[in-house]
């Protein structure tokens, strides 16, 4: 993998990732000549005193680009008379700092207070990056070759490792949201990376449960879940030399799959080259099954659960959660009263049936 670092007109960092030293030799990559306003530094964090969870507040994101026509896509390569976020005639994988970030390393160190004695306020410090999987506007991640998908995996590993070294960063989250039904505002195939200055609520809760399980049984909760799914086999979708994919027995979403490495790792950078290459093949097969489930591409979120930057208790187990809100060909799963109000999910299909349908396609 070759990584090339440059900056955009407003000082944001842009990184190109190429498969090798020769793959970008014919590409015209120029400096960004646009006139851009400074990136907002107004993001802040406020603590919800009832849940003990940090809430990110970034009012400037109301003005972010929203579903532009293809000719105005900011993630496509630049061309004659058309300047985008990527000042290059082409690219394999490109990653840049978000122009409308929820978190920023330049966040105002003295944000406006809440006036509430139980709601402390902190600067919205962190970093948000956009990951462009391909220069092809009409492609899907599922359309990538295994070599291209492995390059994305290497880029995730690179960014996780680099962002984890930033001061006060506690967790790095790599993810993809696809489909307008999910709320995606740009149609170009892309994902994002958040570097949080706190451990996210879901990760914190999983760690609490894993810690209690270890104290009670002496075992590793994630490893035991994987072992049980492999033994049951009824929800398995794939198993290779390095990975296993299955519909979890207590799935919350209409379509949900978890993908675990068989060798326990805490984060993407810890994976070996063989494990990364093997994941690319498993993941592409999974996404292609998703898109054959109905007559249209399935909207989904793919979320990498990595351990926090500091994991002294050794509780983290890397895994990918891929899920969709589409429950039938023409119906979406909305988070209604029980889910939105109480966080208590109601599912419309048994996990075993979902696994069977995915195996059949």
Catalytic residues: 190
Contact between 94 and 17 (Cβ < 8 Å): yes
Question: CB–CB of 174/190 below 8 Å?
Answer: no
DSSP output for 35-83: --PPPP---EEEEETTTTEEEEE-GGGGGS--S--GGG-TTSBPBTTB-
Q: Name residue, tokens 């009409």.
A: 138
How far apart (Å, rounded) are the C-alpha atoms in residues 157 and 216? Answer: 33
CA quadruple 261, 264, 265, 266: dihedral positive or negative?
Answer: positive
Ramachandran angles phi, psi of 142, nearest 5°: -65, -20
Residue from 147, 154, 145 nearest 174 by CA: 154
Q: Which two tokens stand for residue 340?
A: 């939105």
Q: Please choose, from the candidates 106, 126, 162, the residue with its C-alpha nearest in 3D space to the C-alpha of residue 54.
A: 126
Structure tokens at 29: 């990559």
Contact present, 134 and 168 (Cβ < 8 Å): no
Max Cα–Cα distance, the chain, nearest Å: 64
CB contact at 8 A, 119 and 188: no
What are the tokens at 276?
Answer: 């990364």
> If residue 174 lies in a helix (H) or strand (E), which one and from where to where?
strand 171-178
**Measured between alpha carbons, how far apart are the two ends of the chain, in Å?**
34
């Amino acid at each position: 993998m070759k990584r090339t670092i440059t900056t955009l007109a407003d000082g944001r960092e842009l990184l190109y990732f190429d498969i090798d030293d020769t793959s970008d030799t014919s590409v015209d990559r120029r400096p960004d000549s646009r006139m851009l306003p400074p990136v907002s530094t107004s993001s802040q964090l406020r603590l919800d005193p009832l849940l003990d969870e940090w809430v990110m507040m970034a009012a400037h994101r109301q003005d972010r680009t929203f579903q532009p026509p293809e000719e105005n896509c900011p993630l496509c390569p630049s061309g004659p008379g058309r300047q985008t976020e990527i000042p290059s005639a082409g690219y394999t994988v490109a990653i840049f700092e978000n122009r409308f970030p929820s978190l920023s390393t330049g966040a105002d160190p003295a944000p406006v207070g809440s006036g509430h004695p139980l709601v402390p306020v902190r600067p919205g410090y962190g970093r948000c990056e956009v990951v462009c999987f391909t220069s092809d506007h009409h492609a899907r991640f599922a359309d990538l070759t295994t070599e291209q998908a492995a390059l994305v995996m290497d880029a995730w590993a690179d960014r996780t490792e680099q962002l984890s070294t930033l001061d006060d960063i506690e967790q790095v989250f790599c993810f993809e949201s696809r489909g307008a039904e999910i709320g995606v505002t740009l149609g170009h195939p892309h994902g994002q990376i958040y570097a949080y200055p706190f451990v996210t609520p879901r990760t914190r809760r999983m760690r609490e449960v894993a810690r209690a399980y270890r104290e009670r049984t002496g075992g590793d909760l994630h490893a035991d879940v994987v072992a049980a799914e492999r033994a049951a086999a009824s929800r398995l979708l794939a198993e290779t030399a390095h990975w296993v994919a299955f519909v979890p027995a207590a799935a919350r979403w209409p379509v949900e799959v978890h993908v675990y490495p068989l060798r326990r790792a805490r984060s993407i950078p810890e994976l070996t080259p063989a494990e990364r290459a093997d994941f690319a093949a498993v993941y592409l097969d999974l996404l292609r099954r998703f898109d054959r489930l109905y007559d249209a591409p399935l909207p989904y979120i793919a979320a990498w659960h990595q351990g926090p930057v500091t994991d002294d208790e050794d509780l983290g187990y890397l895994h990918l959660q891929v899920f969709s809100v589409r429950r039938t060909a023409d119906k979406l799963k909305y988070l209604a009263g029980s889910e939105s109000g109480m966080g208590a999910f109601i599912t419309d299909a048994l996990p075993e049936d979902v696994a069977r349908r995915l195996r059949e396609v």
